[in-house]
Amino acid sequence: MTKDLVVEKRSQNEIVHDDSTALKVENLSKIYNSTAGRVVALDNVSFSIKKGEFVSIIGPSGSGKSTVLNMVGALDRPSSGKIYIDGIDMFSLNDSELATVRNRRIGFIFQSFNLINRTTVQKNVKLPGIIAGMSTDEADLRADKILSALGIADKKNQKPVNLSGGQQQRVAIARSLINNPSIILADEPTGNLDTKTGEDVFDMLKMLSHKFKRTIIMVTHNPELAESTDRSILLRDGRIEKDAAN
């Protein structure tokens, strides 16, 4: 039985979910126990995000924004609570199944791009496809299409290190799209860019959300950008202080 089938089977057996819901977070808590003491990073956080919604998560440093994103991205497990992506109970899966979910259903965009500089733009973009088992021809074709849509097709044979910050972030966006994920998680995607380039990148994410109905969750410090998303969730001290449409 393939991992996909396992995932589908679990989703059918374990929950009945609303087809319009891309993500559901239920009573999510994360507590770190360290020598410094017990730190509650998230305290009973719950929210849902509909398919095609562009949601920003804002809040001061230490409010739990990145912790939420790490949980939703299945990079870390919660102390308690559940997360459903496309109805799949994420933390009922083992590490290998979680890796498959990250590959097929989640796209990551990082603040510092996290591209592999020794290889070309095209190879960076197609890497999640290759990991998913896509054929080289199909991965090349998809990567080229996405790079064209994002206006950097001419850079496909260059190495990321030779591109500007804005161009590198576009490459990262292209990489997040290659497997047609259910959710795109963007962690401060404009944080390392100047204002103008940051706006360009943000407009691109907006375009993906509105034109291509992508579900995007963006963590940001920038209140102006957050106001331009469909909805903002304000976190403070690990709790949701405000969750409102913009």
Query: Which residues here bind another protein, judged by CB under 8 A?
Result: 70, 73, 75-76, 95-96, 99-100, 102-104, 108, 110, 114, 116, 118-119, 127-128, 130-133, 136, 175, 179
* Least Å from the CB of residue 16 to another protein: 27
User: Closer CB to another protein, residue 45 or residue 125?
Assistant: 125
Beta pairing class for 54-58 and 106-109: unpaired
User: Closer CB to another protein, residue 131 or residue 153?
Assistant: 131
* Least Å from the CB of residue 129 to another protein: 10
* Least Å from the CB of residue 172 to another protein: 10
User: Closer CB to another protein, residue 155 or residue 175?
Assistant: 175
* Least Å from the CB of residue 242 to another protein: 27
Q: Cα separations (Å) of 198 from 12, 111, 172? A: 40, 11, 14
User: Closer CB to another protein, residue 134 or residue 233?
Assistant: 134
